[in-house]
């Protein structure tokens, strides 16, 4: 088993690579920083979109237009025993703010703190590259997501951008640096 110092050095050595393991937790789980080209991320997003199509119903097409995954440079995939269990991403919103996108954990892995771990890694990564704030949009039909974000220190803000007049949207913010 690697020591904490060895893991820290591994992270520092690999920080500039396109994709690297940022942390090893227990023996069977890991986080990978990557891009939207990652095939495991793309597979998880397909499952997310299927879930959202059911939850959003007739509004799904409206939200789907804002959730394209082309050219996302900051993606985290969580693996449990080699299986991609969850993911999340962020995109620059402005010079000091990132928007958290595409958060998802497969149903069989929910309730284990995976989403919170992914979210913390995204916040850490954004802070490392000098962003100070994270914002996000989620739906009122996703109470478990709202609970996660509140538990993680996000607060409600007025709906922003394309969500400004969308009654079913909830927007949140957190200072990360």
Q: pLDDT digits over 111-139, tens only? A: 999 999 999 999 999 999 999 999 999 99
Q: Mean of the per-residue pLDDT values for the chain?
A: 85
DSSP 131-166: --EEEEEEETT-HHHHHHHHHTT-EEE---GGGTT-
| Topology classification of domain 18-175 | Aminopeptidase (3.40.630)
Beta-bridge partners for 99: 91, 135
- Residue 60 pLDDT class (50, 70, 90 cuts): low
Q: How far is CA 7 from the centre of its chain?
A: 22
> Nearest Cα to 77, choosing from 106, 111, 112?
106
Q: Which of 14-28, 62-76, 96-110 has the highest mean pLDDT?
A: 96-110
Crossing angle for the helix pair 143-151 and 114-128, nearest 10 degrees?
50
């Amino acid at each position: 088993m690697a020591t904490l110092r060895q893991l820290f050095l591994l992270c520092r050595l690999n920080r500039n690579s396109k994709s690297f393991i940022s942390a090893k937790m227990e023996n069977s789980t890991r986080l990978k920083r990557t891009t939207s080209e990652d095939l495991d991320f793309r597979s998880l997003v397909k499952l997310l979109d299927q879930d959202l199509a059911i939850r959003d119903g007739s509004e799904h097409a409206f939200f789907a237009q804002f959730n394209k995954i082309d050219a996302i440079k900051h993606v985290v995939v969580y693996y449990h025993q080699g299986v991609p269990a969850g993911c999340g991403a962020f995109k620059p919103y402005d010079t000091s703010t990132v928007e958290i996108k595409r958060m998802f954990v497969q149903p069989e892995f929910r309730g284990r703190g995976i989403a919170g771990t992914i979210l913390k890694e995204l916040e850490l990564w954004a802070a490392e590259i000098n962003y100070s704030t994270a914002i996000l949009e989620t739906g009122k039909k996703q109470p478990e997501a709202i609970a996660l974000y509140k538990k993680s220190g996000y607060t409600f803000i007025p709906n922003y951008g394309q969500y400004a007049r969308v009654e079913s949207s909830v927007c949140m913010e957190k200072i990360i640096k």
